[in-house]
Chains A and B, each alone.
Chain A
Amino acid sequence: MGIISKAEAQAILKKALSFSKADECEVSLTGTEGGNIRYARNAVSTAGDISTMGLAISSTFGKKTGSATINEFDDASLEKVVRRSEELAQLAPPNPEYVSLEGPKTFAESITYNKTTAAVNPDIRAEAVKKSLDIAKAANLEAAGFLENSTSFRAIMNSKGLFAYNMDTDVSFSVTTRNQAGTGSGYVSESFNDISKLDTLALTKVAAQKAVGSAGAKALEPGKYTVILEPLAASDMLSNMVRGFDARSAEEGRSFMSKKGGGTRLGEQLFNEQVNIYSDPFNADLPSATWNGDGIPQEKVTWVENGVVKNLSYSRYWAQQKGVKPVPGANRVIMEGGTASLEDLIKSTERGILVTRFWYIRSVDPQTLLLTGLTRDGTFYIENGKIMYPVKNFRFNESPIIMLNNVEALGKPQRSGNMIVPPMKIRDFTFSSLSDAV
């Protein structure tokens, strides 16, 4: 059993709370059903099915909290798990950062559930993978890929009367195709809420074209180049940065959002004025729940407007300290762009490098958010608006802050993982060395 209805979830949570003797108590119930299939060397390598459900309970006496979980839901089990959390609370040291629970709230209905995705079974997965394998074999390429789908629900209730329930679906697919000589490699990776948007055949064709097109790469001198980052590459660079839009670390002086002399860079023009970044739980391609695990509403939040930092996230504790409203962290962000296609961006480029994706990105200096990593699976030289030839992969050392100051043009945004980002044309992107990797 992995998925239950709102009414069923509410009944279990109410029952669990009825056993509580603590000052405050919160219960959450989560469940997942789904599966995955992995393939490599043009054959399935592993596959699995998942079906789990669990209940977690936290009891608090004063500022002492204890938690316990269980995966049996009869009355005796529910009472047992409540007692256990209460015993653990009595043993725990007080947490000075504990904040009293949220009261009852009405949350908007989310759009995160999709019926078609929820109906995926092992045969549908195998069929989708077969299409991908057929394309790779026909092109005499070797494919390795991964397809995973899930339907999940989450419900929370607390002793102050808060209750919320949400169900979501997700499917993600990625495939790497390589030529037999190992001199060319291509990749695609897409995630959807709605599986009917997933076309493993078309996506594998894109990866195959990149594999064939990237063979025989030439070496260019490392240095500063104009780059066109496909949405995948752009999202690789930005995911690290949006996690840093946090008030506490900024105010404590230990983030790139910290200001010299104290305070934060909120309100500063940190980026080029073309940069606009926000979260929106009602975006059709990237929907999210309308509340987070603490029972705080997730609403549309503008993080960056015309290059100016407009909001930072506040945990419930930090918000209470600062006398402001809690703001959940920047999850599932959307960066606006324009209407230009990737091809339009290439056409407008005199000399540059087209980057399919980045790999092994790591923070080098949290002070400046300097990152290092490498290009992978399709890097091409552009001259006079045309792709001329594939080039060897580069290592870069670049900060997304600097990168978003050097924006030349932004294309039409599309979903990449848990972000929506445009393809980007960036000047003076720093490549520091060459790699022989394919």
Chain B
Amino acid sequence: MKRSEFLYLSGLGAGALMLPNLSLFGNPIDPMEALNVVDTRIKKELADVALNAAKAKGASYADVRIGRYLNQFVATREKNVQGVSNTESYGVGVRVIANGCWGFASTNNVTKEEIAKAAERAVAVAKANAKIQGEAVQLAPQNGYGEVSWKSPIEKNAFEVPVKEKVDLLLATNALAMQGGASFVNSVIFAVNEQKYFASTDGSYIDQDIHRIYPNFQVTKIDRSNGKFDTIRSLSTPMGMGYEYLDPTESSKVKGVVTRYKDRYDILEDIKAATVNVDQKMKAKSVEPGKYDLVLDPSHLWLTIHESVGHPTELDRVLGYEANYAGTSFLTLDKLNSKNFNFGNKLVNVTADKTEKTSLGAVGYDDEGVECKKWDIVKDGVLVNFQATRDQAHMIGLKESQGCSYAQSWADVQFQRMPNISLQPGKEELSVDDMIKDVEKGVYIIGDGSFSIDQQRYNFQFGGQMFYEIKEGKIVGMLKDVSYQSNTQEFWNAVGAICDERDYRLGGAFNDGKGQPGQSNAVSHGSSTTRFNGVNVINTARKI
């Protein structure tokens, strides 16, 4: 069974936004029920049942996650509301080490009796697998934090905003597209709330309340006379925020050839621009293949960072745990240990950060009870670190975990997942306009599009949403049929300049896929507009 390695809500396959399969997310509920939270005293009692049952059966370590996962989708198409759904998934996952081997079991019956049974099943699975296990699991030490809590710093809980307000906003968005001459338009608001309680035999009891939001649209234009069609997607991005993301402010707008957005999004302004741009895109010149200097906007570059920097620095891939699915990594342990592997040139500094405000990866503690932090991955172009969990830390000589454990729900076992991985802004003052002035022959790319990379993360190909031709320092018009191909190390050594922190923005995705059975992880990637010199651009137009 093959699953896409990197799924996300929009932009898949043949155009239209896909409505998620609700059964994957949980049970439909009344919108107002989302606001009732489970008392931490009750959760602590239930957690202790799991930990005690696991220890009684011989577990040397146990952790338990009591999770309540809420999702709301409001989906529209032209004048119609296609669906409004609220889902809830509530249950308990117990993970143990017994006889040196991991075991996991989960239950959606949140009673003391069923939780104890799940803990016992987890121990039984661990003991069965210990018979064909190699090395015993080795956990990095972790002190218990006692009873602590963390909450996304949101201003407006999306689940408290009436559905009608969301429907009205999306239908107003669609109306602007149709008035502007679009053939079709789809728009969606997707809100997530993870209420997670973690406890472990190390003595941590951690209560967390995490919020995310993703408004987006796709506008389609069709020319019946020649049978052609084209689309443009919104320049919004999923954020670790509440509904305040949809309250536009002028200061969060980045003006230019098209307006882009920081931590506040103006969906009405964006749809107007997209409707005009999709028309221009259809009429645009088909790109002449060859070498170009690329100027990549953060709304595009986040995905290139995700694929070419985020994935190859995941320690489970480096070690071979993902060999049968997502693949391994060209970044081997000896490249890290050499302390002189030139991942990129001196301008390239990349950090891993689970603490950055408004990002998707921001939490207080990871899913094995490790407090979140920030660390360097690439320093002045040199590879300096990976991303690890407690059972992996010793493999790269770390004394403690980097806090990269995550499970998509209570029903899934936690494993190493990507933190926010971001390209640091340039240290010298540089605006986008000044960067473009220096480009003789280039393509300026805004928005992410098609993406593909090999299983060790060398060779990649990316498309985009909007492509602008740069000639002698000036934007001269739109292009179409553009994709670029490169090799990760070559590409990051071709960085010509990085704009300063004024241009820094996040991009990201809710559904970064990994593992068997597959799990999704939400992750952001920050960057400022960056120039890459002499990259191979191909023309993707074909006739069928």
Contacts and interface: CB of A to CB of B under 8 A. Distances in A.
B499 interface: no
A360 B454 contact: yes
Interface string B65-82: 000000000000000111
B184 A41 contact: no
B29 A68 contact: yes
B27 A240 contact: no
A97 B80 contact: yes
Contact of B5 (A66, A174, A360): A360
A95 B84 CA distance: 10
Nearest to A241: B14
Given A44-B101, A71-B108, A395-B461, A373 B452 contact: yes
B537 to A, nearest CB: 12
Given A68-B28, A436-B487, A40 B322 contact: yes
B485 A144 contact: no
Contacts of B299: none
Contacts of B543: 368
A437 B517 contact: no
Contacts of B222: 252-254
Query: Which of B85, B451, B458, B543: most chain A Cβ within 10 A?
Result: B458
A54 B88 CA distance: 13
Given A122-B128, A254-B16, A43 B134 contact: yes
Contact of A43 (B133, B458, B459, B538): B133
Interface stretch (B47-55, B197-205, B226-234, B267-275): B226-234
Nearest to B481: A365
A101 interface: no
A97 B456 CA distance: 45
A412 interface: no
B453 interface: yes
Interface in A366-397: 366-370, 372-374, 376, 393, 395, 397
A261 B226 CA distance: 6
A38 B516 contact: yes
A43 B323 contact: no
Contact of A359 (B332, B454, B481): B454
A244 interface: yes
A82 B452 CA distance: 45
Contacts of A262: 224
B459 A244 contact: no
Contacts of A66: 28
Contacts of A40: 320-324
A146 B324 CA distance: 8
A259 B227 contact: yes
A172 B1 CA distance: 7
B341 interface: no
B485 A395 contact: yes
B320 A174 contact: no
Contacts of B487: 436
A432 B483 CA distance: 12
Contacts, number: 249
A436 B489 CA distance: 12
A41 B319 contact: yes
Contacts of B134: 41-43
B257 to A, nearest CB: 23
A429 interface: no
Given A95-B81, A253-B227, A258-B229, A363 B14 contact: yes
Nearest to B536: A433
A254 B220 contact: yes
A41 B320 contact: yes
Contacts of A52: 108
A44 B132 contact: yes
Interface stretch (A126-134, A212-220, A272-280, A304-312): A126-134
A146 B28 contact: no
Interface string B109-153: 100000000000100010011011111000000000000000000
Contact of A374 (B23, B450, B459): B459
A37 B455 contact: no
B452 A437 contact: no
B34 to A, nearest CB: 13
Nearest to B222: A253
Interface in B225-247: 225-230
B129 A395 contact: no
Nearest to A58: B28
B452 A362 contact: yes
Nearest to A375: B454
Contacts of A182: 328, 332
A200 interface: no
Contacts of B463: 364
Interface in A277-314: none
B485 A44 contact: no
B24 interface: no
B227 A260 contact: yes
A84 B30 contact: yes
B452 A402 contact: no
A369 B487 CA distance: 25
Contact of B227 (A261, A359, A362): A261
A174 B324 CA distance: 7
Interface string A134-145: 000000001011
B105 interface: yes
B80 A95 contact: yes
Contacts of A95: 80-83
Interface string A214-254: 00000000000000000000001001100110000100111
A42 B220 CA distance: 49
Nearest to A46: B413
A45 B321 contact: yes
B102 interface: yes
B454 A374 contact: yes
Contact of B224 (A49, A176, A253): A253
A367 B226 CA distance: 12
A340 interface: no
A44 B132 CA distance: 7
B280 interface: no
B227 A258 contact: yes
Contact of A144 (B16, B230, B323, B461): B323
A47 B105 CA distance: 9
B40 interface: no
Contacts of A395: 452, 454, 459, 461, 485
Nearest to B453: A360
A397 B540 contact: yes
Given A68-B29, A254-B222, A435-B458, A176 B324 contact: yes
A201 to B, nearest CB: 15
B461 A372 contact: yes
Given A374-B454, A417-B2, A437 B14 contact: no
Interface in A160-177: 172, 174-176
Nearest to B104: A48
B12 to A, nearest CB: 8
Nearest to B74: A93
Contacts of B27: 54, 68-71
B452 A372 contact: yes
Given A360-B5, A361-B452, A364-B463, A253 B132 contact: no
A48 B128 CA distance: 11
B35 interface: no
A244 B31 CA distance: 35
Nearest to A246: B14
Nearest to A405: B544
Nearest to B449: A364
A254 B278 CA distance: 14
Contact of A253 (B22, B229, B541): B229
Given A239-B2, A253-B229, A254-B222, 4 more contacts: A91-B31, A144-B322, A372-B450, A432-B538
15 contacts: A38-B324, A46-B413, A48-B125, A95-B81, A126-B132, A129-B132, A239-B2, A249-B15, A363-B14, A364-B463, A365-B541, A399-B542, A434-B459, A437-B454, A438-B456
8 interchain residue pairs of minimum CB distance: A260-B227, A43-B134, A435-B459, A437-B454, A437-B456, A144-B323, A144-B324, A253-B222
